[in-house]
Amino acid sequence: MAACVLGGALTMGGTTLAYNYGVGAIWLGGVAAFSIFLLSLFLRTKLSNMRILSACEGFGVFYGPQARVLSAVVMMVYMFMVGVV
């Protein structure tokens, strides 16, 4: 899950934001990394016991297969928007 957040979208998007708006835009990566660290402290064992690897799988576990498909569609739209920008 951390690889999805701290992957190409954050590195490429973060450098573009820093180029356009200055060094102050780098806080985005720091906040994302810090929040993932905090989530791992509190939710590590729960997520390991559930054996999920993505947010879409988590939605499927909690809300059913329709929510999993809907979250996958939302993620695809998000990734398309990241790729276009």
Which residues touch 70 (CB under 8 Å, ≥6 apart)? 59
- The 8-class DSSP code of residue 54 comes to S
- Read off the pLDDT of residues 31-66 as tens digits, 9 standing for 90 and up: 888 888 888 888 878 877 888 888 888 889 889 999
- Read off the pLDDT of residues 68-78 as tens digits, 9 standing for 90 and up: 999 999 988 98
Instruction: Compute the distance between CA of residue 58 and CA of residue 62 in angstroms, rounded to an integer.
Output: 6
Give the Å distances, CA to CA, from 69 to 31, 32, 41, 43, 73: 28, 25, 28, 24, 6
pTM, entire model:
0.54
